[in-house]
């Protein structure tokens, strides 16, 4: 299940231009629609333990650094700058200093500064007056002694002992920076970030919607006008939604060579007359058990990486 939503998240990051290809560079606009497996308890990434909040909300925030999203593995050499332009360690690997990006604004127009970084990790360490209701990743920062701002544009993480892999924790999708001026209660229901999308609406058990941030600090991004996540906990309904709501099906094409190995290609295509609701109902009712099982099999093959999905 987590692998499935990592795949969906990767599709979003590609649309943001983190994995730039010819089609991505030429197409802008539109609403990307997904089904979502769960109705999250809140919209606060730091207070939730699963992908159910991270997947729809990751685009609302930025990290200091982030793993390159179009790579199959999270590795140190794939860490890229986001709100931090650069970083450096001292000789003992106990002090990690970030030079912060200038001109970044929160979605409410207030400037992003080093104080926001300190507030975020003081809250995670339990040092601030503003407390998290839940803190599922508190153990990640047991070795973190303090966060020291150096003016508005630099900040240093001071560790109790050497931990070269600490940077990888900050590059996770579960390590966004929160604003100092918004309390944790409001972040659960109306989160404010610096990311390419602004939070728009969350109706529990119905949908989550985010819209384009026109003032995003990366010029020309995001490419999409928004993303809508329809909450569908039932797996059977999810599969039928691929036919009826989201209008995407899969078919297998003959094997082609990609690198040293051969992989079949799963090609997505639009069903004719799919805008017609009566047609969708009739089509779904006409599906045989064999067709449903075959569609499920192909979907699982895409998720597992057995075949490559192409438009």
pLDDT tens profile 179-199: 999 999 999 999 999 999 999
For residue 35, what pLDDT band results from cuts at 50, 70 and 90? confident
Of 184, 215, 231, the one marking the end of a domain is 231
pLDDT at 192: 98
Pairing outcome for strands 308-310 and 261-270 = parallel
pLDDT per residue as tens digits for the range 209-229? 999 999 999 999 999 999 999
Which domain range does residue 151 map to? 2-231
Residues 57 and 101 in one domain: yes
CATH code where residue 148 lies: 3.40.190.10
Of 179, 199, 231, the one marking the end of a domain is 231
Residues 74 and 171 in one domain: yes
pLDDT over 80 at 232, yes or no: yes
pLDDT over 90 at 103, yes or no: yes
Residues 67 and 197 in one domain: yes
Residues 184 and 205 in one domain: yes
Residues 186 and 278 in one domain: no
pLDDT over 90 at 55, yes or no: yes
- Going from the C-alpha of 2 to that of each of 9, 50, 83, the distances in angstroms are 10, 9, 26
Residues 280 and 171 in one domain: no
Radius of gyration over every alpha carbon of the chain, rounded to an integer in angstroms: 21
Q: First-to-last CA distance in the chain?
A: 23
Contacts 24+ apart (CB under 8 A), 22-25: 23/311, 24/223
pLDDT per residue as tens digits for the range 109-155? 999 999 999 999 999 999 999 999 999 999 999 999 999 999 999 99
Answer yes or no: pTM beyond 0.95.
Answer: no
Of 200, 231, 262, the one marking the end of a domain is 231
Mean pLDDT to the nearest integer, 68-85: 94
- Going from the C-alpha of 175 to that of each of 62, 160, 168, the distances in angstroms are 9, 20, 10
């Amino acid at each position: 299940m987590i692998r499935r939503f990592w795949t969906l998240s990767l599709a979003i990051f590609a649309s943001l231009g983190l994995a730039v290809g010819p089609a991505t560079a030429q197409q802008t606009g539109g609403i990307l629609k997904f089904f979502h497996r769960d109705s999250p308890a809140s919209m606060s990434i730091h207070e939730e333990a699963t992908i159910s909040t991270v997947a729809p909300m990751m685009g609302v925030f930025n990290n200091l650094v982030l793993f390159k999203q179009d790579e199959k593995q999270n590795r140190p050499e794939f860490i890229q700058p986001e709100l931090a332009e650069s970083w450096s360690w001292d000789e003992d690997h106990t002090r990690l200093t970030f030079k912060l990006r200038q001109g970044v604004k929160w979605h409410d127009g207030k400037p992003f500064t080093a104080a926001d970084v300190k507030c975020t990790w003081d809250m995670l360490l339990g040092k601030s007056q503003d407390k998290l209701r839940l803190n599922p990743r508190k153990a990640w920062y047991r070795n973190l002694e303090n966060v020291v701002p150096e003016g508005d544009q630099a900040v240093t993480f001071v560790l109790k002992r050497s931990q070269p892999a600490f940077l990888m924790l900050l590059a996770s999708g579960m390590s966004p920076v929160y604003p100092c001026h918004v309390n944790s209660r409001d972040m659960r229901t109306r989160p404010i970030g610096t990311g390419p999308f602004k939070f728009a609406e969350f109706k529990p058990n119905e949908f989550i919607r985010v819209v384009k941030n026109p003032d995003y600090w990366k010029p020309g991004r995001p490419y999409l006008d928004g993303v809508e996540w329809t909450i569908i906990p039932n797996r059977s309904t999810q599969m039928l939604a691929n036919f009826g709501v989201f209008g995407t099906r899969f078919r297998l094409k003959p094997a082609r060579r990609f690198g040293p190995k051969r992989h079949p290609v799963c090609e997505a295509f639009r069903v004719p007359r799919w805008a017609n609701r009566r047609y969708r109902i009739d089509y779904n009712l006409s599906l045989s058990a064999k067709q449903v099982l075959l569609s499920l099999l192909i979907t699982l093959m895409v998720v597992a990486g057995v075949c490559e999905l192409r438009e």
